[in-house]
């Protein structure tokens, strides 16, 4: 089968499509025939060597939508089931940017009924990250939340999930994104100046760090998205960073919310897997809203 890998770190041109063995599922694993797989910032980090793996073959791709192909019977999966999954792909030889991927059975959820595979592939990584970041903040309904990077994939899902829970969301995004983030459920828009200490919590999907921490009220909560890069706690603010965990049951809840129209699956463009370098180059240009999705 074909799979996107890097063996030498660098820019978009460092990505190669190699011919590799189809992976075999072991006990407790499912093999998925990939129908669509999103390209995320973490794949850029892997490509550039941010997460290490020098001298190894590093697979790319965390998000998968496709059909069960082998394995998973003990967990109730059967060949042909339409599914989505998070493939936790931190420096592994094979990612989901491939024709087949093997994941733990408990990372898999039934695919949305209301979306095609291309749209479904935008859900697992970023909706799980948003949900797990909101867990860290533990804000009750009626609380106030500032989401930075609200027009992005993590930020957008966070706005929608928080608004759905009755949290009052202020979205910090580029001026041009005001209409978008309001359509996702942000009650307020912060394009420029933000009031210090004005929020019960901040979910910092734009990785603004100490600047974003200053917007949390004394004793509030801050959630970052880059473990190890979160700012030092101050003024009694709880500081944590989300590290996404594959969780099929939680993903099934997020699929339900997508089917109910609570979560919007945003696709910018699709590329055949053979054009993976072009997709990386497009992401590097910036200004992409919605995900770039590869189709093997
Ligand atoms: N820890 C984990 O488990 C985990 C999981 C998933 C993602 N992440 C991380 O979470 C971050 C967000 O991921 P993503 O997929 O949501 O990225 P994304 O789709 O690129 O979204 C980031 C958004 O933030 C905006 N932004 C950046 N700086 C800004 C600023 N100063 N003011 C206003 N908006 C700003 C960007 O706008 P422009 O495009 O115009 O710059 C973009 O809309 C990434 O760093 C990613 O690696 C972590």
pLDDT of residue 287: 95
Index of the ligand 1 atom closest to the CA of residue 288:
39
Q: Does 131 have pLDDT greater than 80?
A: yes
Question: What lines the ligand 1 site, CB under 6 Å?
Answer: 40-42, 125-126, 129, 149, 151-155, 172-174, 205-207, 225-227, 242-244, 286-287
Q: How far apart are CA 4 and CA 18, in angstroms?
A: 6
pLDDT of residue 191: 79
* pLDDT tens digits, 18-60: 999 999 999 999 999 999 999 999 999 999 999 999 999 999 9
Given pLDDT bands bounded at 50, 70 and 90, which one contains residue 193?
A: confident
* Gap from CA of 57 to ligand 1 centroid (Å): 26
Which of 39, 152, 207 for a ligand 1 pocket mutation test, highest count of atoms within 8 Å of Cβ? 152
- Percent of the chain having pLDDT more than 90? 99
Half-sphere exposure of 263 (CA within 13 A, CB side): 31
Q: How far apart are CA 84 and CA 124, in angstroms?
A: 7
The residues spanned by each domain of the chain are: 2-123+265-295, 126-241
Given pLDDT bands bounded at 50, 70 and 90, which one contains residue 192?
A: confident
* pLDDT tens digits, 64-85: 999 999 999 999 999 999 999 9
Pairing of strands 216-224, 238-241: parallel
Index of the ligand 1 atom closest to the CA of residue 244:
3
* pLDDT tens digits, 237-251: 999 999 999 999 999
* pLDDT tens digits, 201-236: 999 999 999 999 999 999 999 999 999 999 999 999
Angle at 109 between CA 105 and CA 112, to 5 degrees: 155
Sequence-ordered strand ranges (E) for the chain: 2-6, 16-19, 29-39, 58-59, 63-71, 82-86, 100-104, 108-110, 144-148, 168-172, 188-190, 199-204, 216-224, 238-241, 267-272, 291-295
- The fourth-level CATH superfamily of domain 2-123+265-295 is Medium-chain alcohol dehydrogenases, catalytic domain (3.90.180.10)
* Gap from CA of 46 to ligand 1 centroid (Å): 16
* Gap from CA of 130 to ligand 1 centroid (Å): 12
Index of the ligand 1 atom closest to the CA of residue 155:
16
What pTM was computed for the model?
0.98
What are the residues whose beta carbons fall under 8 Å from the beta carbon of 50, sequence distance 6 or more?
A: none
Given pLDDT bands bounded at 50, 70 and 90, which one contains residue 5?
A: very high
pLDDT of residue 21: 98
Q: DSSP 3-state assignment of 262?
A: coil
* Gap from CA of 154 to ligand 1 centroid (Å): 7
Index of the ligand 1 atom closest to the CA of residue 129:
5
Looking at every residue in the chain, the average pLDDT score rounds to: 98
* Gap from CA of 30 to ligand 1 centroid (Å): 30
Class for the domain spanning 126-241: alpha beta
* Gap from CA of 81 to ligand 1 centroid (Å): 32
* Gap from CA of 29 to ligand 1 centroid (Å): 31
């Amino acid at each position: 089968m074909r799979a996107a890998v890097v063996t030498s770190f660098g820019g978009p041109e460092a990505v190669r499509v190699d011919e590799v063995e189809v992976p075999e599922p072991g006990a407790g694993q499912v093999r998925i025939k990939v129908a669509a797989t999103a390209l995320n910032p973490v794949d850029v980090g892997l490509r550039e060597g941010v997460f290490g793996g020098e001298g190894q073959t590093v697979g790319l791709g965390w998000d998968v939508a496709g059909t069960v192909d082998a394995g998973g019977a003990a967990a109730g999966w059967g060949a042909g089931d339409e599914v989505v999954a998070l493939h936790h792909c931190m420096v592994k030889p094979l990612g989901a940017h491939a024709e087949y991927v093997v994941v733990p059975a408990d990372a898999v959820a039934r695919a949305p009924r209301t979306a095609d595979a291309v749209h479904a592939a935008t859900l697992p990584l970023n909706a799980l990250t948003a949900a797990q970041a909101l867990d860290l903040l533990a804000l009750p309904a009626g609380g106030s939340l500032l989401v930075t990077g609200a027009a992005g994939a993590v930020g957008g899902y966070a706005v929608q999930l928080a608004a759905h829970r009755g949290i009052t969301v202020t979205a910090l995004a580029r001026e041009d994104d005001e209409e978008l983030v309001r359509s996702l459920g942000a009650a307020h828009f912060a394009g420029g100046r933000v009031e210090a200490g004005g929020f019960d919590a901040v979910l910092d999907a734009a990785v603004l760090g100490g600047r974003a921490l200053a917007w949390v009220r004394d004793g509030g909560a801050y959630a970052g998205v880059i473990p190890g890069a979160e700012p030092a706690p101050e003024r009694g603010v709880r500081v944590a960073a989300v590290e996404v965990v594959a969780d099929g049951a939680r993903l099934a809840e997020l699929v339900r919310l997508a089917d109910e129209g609570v979560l919007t699956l945003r696709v910018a463009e699709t590329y055949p897997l053979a054009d993976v370098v072009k997709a990386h180059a497009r992401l590097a240009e910036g200004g992409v809203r919605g995900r770039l999705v590869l189709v093997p």
